[in-house]
Structure formats: structure tokens, C-alpha cells
Amino acid sequence: MAALTAFVLNGPNLNLLGTREPDIYGNDTLGDIEAATLKKAEALGITVDFRQTNGEGALVDWVQEAGAKADGLILNPGAYTHTSIALLDALSAIAIPKIELHLSNIHGREEFRRDSVTARAATGVIMGLGGAGYPLAIEALHALMTRGTGA
């Protein structure tokens, strides 16, 4: 079997993890989360392209790039979860398995955070497990990619 590739894309303010509202998002930095993700991916034989941006346009570009270059996608869209039709459209346009990921349980948060526009185009959603959700998402994505379904 050929090597599998996954993009792990992170949206706005996730670069502040470790210092931003640790009571909600935990104490792990994005670097800590990336290291744990890469460790799990390596064990499963997955090459990961791990990125973060605060810009919606860059995130849309990267989703499109993932559709062309990757076998699967994990996306933590941050605040764009609740507002970005552009991101939804980009996700809908790519034919690879897609997992939406959130550190917190968005259903237990403020009313405006409870709706995910982008989840409508996701194969599955993982939320509320903090940084531990990323390695779990890699495991789930591996299952989807090797099964050959789930786009």
C-alpha cells in the first residue's frame, strides 16, 4: 500500500494555545499537539502536513490543496466553524475523508458556538477531548483512508 498523507489544518487563534483560556482549551500548546499528532501518525504510517493560519482565505486554499494532494483531512476551523460558507464550500468540493475537530465541546458552550456550518461537509466530528482529540482523529482518519470510503 502506498504511503498515506493527511493534512491537519488549524484555524484562527489556535496559535495561542497554552495561554488562551486554558480553562477551556487546556495547557497544551499547538506545538505539543502537533508533536503528539505526528507521533501517532508515524506509528500508523501516515505523513502529516500540520499547519495553522488566522486567515480564512489561507484556510480555504489549504483545504483545496488537501483535496489535490492528501488522502485525508483533519480540520479545526476555530471560529470559522460558525460562520464560514467559503470554508464549507471548499470542504464540499473535495473528495477525501474529512474530520472536523474541536478542543472543547461546542454544544456545551455559548449559543452562538453551538452550530457548525463546516460540519455539514465533514465525514465525522471529534470534540471536547482537548489536545487528545488530535491523535484520536488521526486514528479515525487512518481507518477512513484505508477503508477507501468516507469522502
Is 25 an annotated catalytic residue? yes
| pLDDT confidence of residue 15 | 93
Whether the per-residue pLDDT at 83 is higher than 90: the answer is no
Over residues 36-53, the mean pLDDT reads 97
CATH number at 58 reads 3.40.50.9100
Cell matching residue 148 = 477507501
Spatial distance between the Cα atoms of 143 and 136, rounded to a whole number of angstroms = 11
Looking at the structure of the chain, the number of domains it has is: 1
Interval 100-147: pLDDT, tens: 999 988 877 768 667 789 989 999 999 999 999 999 999 999 999 998
Confidence of residue 72 (pLDDT cuts 50, 70, 90): very high
Which residue's entry shows cell 489561507?
58
Is 80 an annotated catalytic residue? no
Phi, psi of 107, deg, nearest 5: -75, -15
Cell matching residue 14 = 489556535
Kindly name the residue from 80, 102, 134, 142 that is annotated as catalytic. Answer: 102
Handedness of CA 136, 141, 147, 151 (dihedral sign): positive
Spatial distance between the Cα atoms of 60 and 54, rounded to a whole number of angstroms = 11
Nearest 10 degrees: Cα torsion 28, 16, 76, 55: -160
Kindly name the residue from 25, 80, 134, 142 that is annotated as catalytic. Answer: 25
Q: Which domain holds residue 70?
A: 4-147
Confidence of residue 148 (pLDDT cuts 50, 70, 90): low
Whether the per-residue pLDDT at 6 is higher than 70: the answer is yes
Spatial distance between the Cα atoms of 6 and 8, rounded to a whole number of angstroms = 6
| pLDDT confidence of residue 18 | 87
